Amino acid sequence: MTTSTLTRLEISETDDTISLATLRRAAEALGCELHYAWVPRQPLTTTLEERTSRLAQQQMAAISRMALEAQSTSREHLEAQTRALANSLLKGSRRALWKERGQ
């Protein structure tokens, strides 16, 4: 691998314009394998808890909008129901957590 090729690789890497194909060819030229991965910024359990909480809040908001003013529940009761729904979602299908509504 020439110096000019390495310089171009470094520049394109710095600019975030390098392709996987280019990285793979460079790895092969250096006698290496290319491995890439997505590394979560937080534990998976935290991500799942945040997602189920957000979905539960959305669903409870839709339900509470439908309730009549005279029949509205207390804030504590609504929060407890939201937590229970989030726990139920967490125990269900993980795939369903990421589907957009209407799919």
Q: What is the pLDDT of residues 16-57, one digit of tens each?
A: 999 999 999 989 988 999 999 999 999 999 999 999 999 999
Q: Which long-range contacts (CB under 8 A, 24 or more apart) does 24-30 make?
A: 26/1, 29/1, 30/1
Q: What is the pLDDT of residues 67-84, one digit of tens each?
A: 545 455 677 888 888 999
pLDDT at position 61 over 60: yes
Percent helix / strand / coil, the chain, rounded to 5: 65, 0, 35
> Is pTM beyond 0.75 here?
no
Amino acid at 11: I
